[in-house]
């Protein structure tokens, strides 16, 4: 079967990766990081896919311990229209790129929690002085 393409998908992918990288770089803990990934990716999929259902943040999860660094929900995997598109498009490759960008930030946050806590304290101090 022919690979499915989407109108302006490359442009949307570049914009999304740029947006994701910016949001991920501002994330201060691994929990927020996973939420940022799920929100950004579900919004992207809802924008580019022509499906009869909405993809939620629970359908696409960042999982740093998994080989692909993300998982798709059973609901998505059970959806024939979604899986048809997934199988015959470059979306898996794009998801891997997004998950890897998120994973690099995850590694940094996991390896340097003291820097993260210091940034949070500094931001709180600056905010309290501003008021």
Q: Domain locations in the chain?
A: 18-77+96-130
Structure tokens at 45: 């999929």
Three-class SS of residue 79?
coil
* pLDDT tens digits, 77-97: 999 888 988 998 888 999 999
Tell which residue, 19, 10, 65, has the closest CA to residue 41.
19
- Taking the whole predicted model, whether its pTM rises above 0.85 is answered as no
* pLDDT tens digits, 8-48: 677 788 888 889 989 998 888 889 999 999 999 999 888 88
Our measurement of the distance from residue 67's CA atom to the centroid of its chain's CA atoms, rounded to an integer in Å, reads: 15
The residues, any chain, with a CB within 8 Å of residue 123's CB and separated by 6 or more, are: none
């Amino acid at each position: 079967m022919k690979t499915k393409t989407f109108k302006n998908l490359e442009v949307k992918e570049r914009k999304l990766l740029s947006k994701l990288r910016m949001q991920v770089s501002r994330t201060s803990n691994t929990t927020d990081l996973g939420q940022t990934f799920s929100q950004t990716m579900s919004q992207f999929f809802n924008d580019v896919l022509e499906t009869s259902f909405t993809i939620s943040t629970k359908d696409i999860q960042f999982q740093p311990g998994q080989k692909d660094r993300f998982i798709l929900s059973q609901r998505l995997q059970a959806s024939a229209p979604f899986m048809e598109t997934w199988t015959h498009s470059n979306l898996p490759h794009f998801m891997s790129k997004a998950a890897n960008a998120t994973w690099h930030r995850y590694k940094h946050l996991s390896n340097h929690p003291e820097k993260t806590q210091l940034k949070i304290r500094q931001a709180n101090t600056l905010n309290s002085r501003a008021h």
